[in-house]
Homo-oligomer: A and B are copies of this chain.
Amino acid sequence: MLSKNQIKFISGLHQKKQRIANQLFFAEGVKCIQELVQSNFELEHLYTIQDDFEEVIAANKTLISDSELKKISALTTPNSCLAIFKMPQEKAIIESGLIVALDSIRDPGNLGTILRLCDWFGIEQLICSKETVDIYNPKVVQATMGSITRVNVNYVDLNGFIAHVKLPVFGTFMDGENIYKCDLPQEGIIIMGNEANGISSELEQLVQNRLTIPRFGNLQKTESLNVATATAIILSEFRR
Complex contact A236–B239 (CB within 8 A) = no
Contact yes or no, A225 B109, CB < 8 A:
no
Interface residue A213 (Cβ < 8 Å from any Cβ of B): yes
CA distance A228 to B122 in the complex (A): 19
Closest to A215 in B: B120
**Nearest residue in B to A114 (C-beta to C-beta)?**
B229
- Roughly how many angstroms separate A93 CA and B230 CA in the complex, as a whole number? 28
**A217–B228 alpha-carbon span in the complex (Å):** 18
Least distance between A108 CB and chain B CB atoms (Å):
12
Residue of B at shortest CB range from A218? B122
In the bound complex, how far is the Cα of B218 from the Cα of A109, in angstroms? 24
Interface contact A222-B147, CB-CB below 8 Å: yes
Q: Tell me which of B113, B222, B240 contacts A226 (CB under 8 A).
A: B113
Nearest chain-B residue to A238 (Cβ)?
B216
Cβ distance A73 to chain B, nearest Cβ, rounded Å:
17
B residues within 8 A CB of A121? 216-217
Please, what's the 1-or-0 string for A100-111, where 1 marks a CB less than 8 Å from any CB in chain B?
000000000100
Determine which of B119, B180, B217, B233 lies in contact with A233 in the assembled complex, contact meaning CB atoms within 8 Å. Answer: B233
Contacts of A230 in B (CB 8 A): 232
Pairwise interchain contact A222-B119, C-beta atoms closer than 8 A: yes
Count residues on chain A whose CB falls below 8 Å from chain B CBs: 34
Q: Is A117 interfacial (CB 8 A cutoff)?
A: yes
User: Which residues of chain A in 186-240 are interfacial with respect to chain B, using CB atoms and an 8 Å cutoff?
Assistant: 213, 215-219, 221-223, 225-226, 228-230, 232-233, 236-237, 239-240
A215 CB to closest chain B CB, in angstroms? 6
Q: For the complex, what is the distance from the CA of A226 to the CA of B143, rounded to whole Å?
A: 10
A240 touches B113 (CB 8 A): no
- Residues of A participating in the B interface, judged by any CB pair closer than 8 Å: 35, 109, 113, 116-117, 119-122, 145-147, 150, 180, 213, 215-219, 221-223, 225-226, 228-230, 232-233, 236-237, 239-240
Give 29 A-B contacts (CB < 8 Å), ordered by A residue. A35-B221, A109-B109, A113-B226, A116-B225, A116-B226, A116-B229, A117-B225, A117-B229, A119-B217, A119-B222, A120-B217, A120-B222, A121-B216, A145-B223, A146-B221, A147-B222, A150-B219, A150-B221, A225-B232, A228-B228, A228-B229, A229-B229, A230-B232, A232-B232, A232-B233, A233-B233, A236-B236, A236-B237, A237-B240
